[in-house]
Amino acid sequence: MAKIWSKQTSVEVPHLDTTSSRMPWIRLTVLLLGTIILLHNYIIDHLTPQHPSRNPTITSPKCPQVDPLYPTSRTKELDDVDDYLRSDSFRNKSIQNLAGAVRIPTQSFDDLGAVGTDPRWEIFFSFADYLEETFPLVHATLQLEKVNTHALLYTWAGTDPSLKPTVLMAHQDVVPVPDSTVESWTHPPFSGHFDGTFIWGRGSSDCKNQLIGILEAVETLIQAGFSPRRTLVLSFGYDEEISGREGALKLSNALAKKYGHHGVALIIDEGAVNIENWGKSWAIPGVAEKGYVDVTVTVRMPGGHSSIPPKHNGIGVASELISLIEANPYEPYLDEENPYLSMLYCGAEHAPEFPKTLKKLLNKRESKLQTCSKKHGKDALAVEAAKEGLGIKYLFTTSVAIDLINGGAKANALPERTTFTVNHRINVGSNSKAIFKHITSLAAQSASKYNLTLTPFNGTELPSSITLRAHDTLLEPAPVTPTSSSQSVTPFEVLSGTTRALYSEDLLVAPGIMTGNTDTRYYWDLSEHIFRYGPGWDREQDGLGNIHTVDERIGVRGHVDGVRWFVGFLRNVDEAEL
């Protein structure tokens, strides 16, 4: 008997002998009609492209969640570690450790001179001494190399040299505290004050908490007798807040010489923290970073006495161009590689409060029937997602901010040279060439209107001109860390499993993206697997703890959980075959 299958059921069709007089013609007709109907339904259900209205949900899983991951290698000492990290004894010690680190004002200033020449660098000697006093087992067990005087490179050699090492990162420096803001702080910015819940001060959440937490985890593991198979490297720069050229760049060069291209299994640096959204808890480790470029615009126009002004002088033209730039922002766009697209799929699959409109647009994208596609100039899904707020919008939109302006020398003299700087954070899927093209087209409008020569990005500055110049800090968007692979275990899965084991199986892990840049900008060649993640999570703390502003602070509960996470992660990654 042959079987013909529909989506709903199957019908057995007997072999037909049309020459037999025992088979009534009416039975033959009914069977043939039934067969035609079943074939028609099969074609509709399986072979015909579906309109979105017939396919209201995403059918293939886009956001699988791994099981919680616990270390399998155990000893009594290691089994006791988590109880110790939950104890009041460790909590009090950890408060002292981090508060003491905050009290050392390791500020990095934009105008710092050369290392060894500018005395403002010398505070980092004090910080290194503090770490040595505070973590004696780390300094007795790990090899410490000081790179370019103040960068700290610790190596805990593993027993299996065939395994690629793990690199944990953080930076020693903090953004300066302007004198004019000191009185605005609830507690002095370098006091390390503990109020029973938070440790206050510059660097408490950016990111001495991560640096101290890593060292506390390693100190604890050494005390428990842990001996790694996989080499562990701790890489601590000291000028991340001013682009990392003296610290992270030199550290990455040292690591590249030692381990080679993609010679590191994975890298974890500071980054995104856990959040609550769409009715669920999320860990969103950053697997990508937007690019970066500053463009300085210079308007040169004739000077003269201000008592005989032209209709528009250089400051006026510059102001008009600024308004034009702000009036022509970049459109939201979700490239297929943008991690936020993955998070949207995660929300659609797992989050009870995920917006219905976004789910509908995701299905349109999935079925390739998006009505407002990129070729029409807008990405409908990105435009809708951007409505969730600026913090979301700029995860998938190139940002433009005019941050600096200067012009004129005297109140009675017309400005001859006016400059302003435009900061861009480049979206995944875009590049610096697109930025240069966009701002050049806008500057051309002003140049044409006021009969000025336009000299874009060629290093030439002429009288009566508008000149565009890109700074040498230009950075293209980072390579996106893979979150899936054909191999049995991936670094992302180890990170995800560790996180769900610590917090809850109900917590979702999804790829995240950084709008800012970290020291990992110099580490791209060392590993494909780079994560920007702050694992400590305190629900009493709002966001990132006021980083870069007044009243920076960190919740102690979150900080201690970060230490617990690093202990679990280091044990898990040591057992993983990566």
Instruction: Provide DSSP, 503-517.
Output: S-TTSEE--EEESS-
Which strand ranges, in their side-by-side order, compose the sheet holding 266-272? 143-147, 151-156, 232-237, 166-171, 266-272, 530-533, 286-289, 512-514
From residue 387, alpha-carbon distances to 332, 345, 358, 394, 482 in Å are 10, 17, 11, 11, 28
Active-site annotation holds for 519: no
Whole-angstrom distance, CA of residue 278 vs CA of residue 554:
25
List, in order, residues 6 or more apart from 87 with CB less than 8 Å away: none
Q: Is 241 annotated as a binding residue?
A: yes
**Annotated catalytic residue within 173, 246, 270, 349:** 173
Phi first, then psi: what are they for 281, rounded to 5°? -95, 140
Distance between first and last Cα of the chain: 51
Burial of 319 (0-12, 13-18, 19+ CB in 10 A): middle
Active-site annotation holds for 173: yes
Whole-angstrom distance, CA of residue 499 vs CA of residue 281:
12
Alpha helices in 86-197 (DSSP H): 88-102, 123-134, 136-141
Residues pairing with 147 in the sheet: 151
List, in order, residues 6 or more apart from 131 with CB less than 8 Å away: 101, 138, 139, 152, 215
DSSP H or E stretch at residue 220: helix 208-223
Whole-angstrom distance, CA of residue 550 vs CA of residue 570:
34
Residues pairing with 29 in the sheet: none
**Annotated catalytic residue within 216, 239, 240, 289:** 240
Alpha helices in 421-555 (DSSP H): 432-449, 491-502
Q: Is 548 annotated as a binding residue?
A: yes
Instruction: Name the 3-class secondary structure at 539.
Output: coil
| DSSP symbol at 174 | B
Q: Is 528 annotated as a binding residue?
A: no
Q: Is 476 annotated as a binding residue?
A: no
List, in order, residues 6 or more apart from 307 with CB less than 8 Å away: 412
Q: Is 519 annotated as a binding residue?
A: no
List, in order, residues 6 or more apart from 545 with CB less than 8 Å away: 204, 205, 206, 552, 553, 554, 555
Of residues 201, 413, 462, the one with CA closest to residue 309: 413
List residues with catalytic annotation: 173, 240
Binding residues for Zn(2+): 171, 206, 241, 269, 548
Binding residues: 171, 206, 241, 269, 548
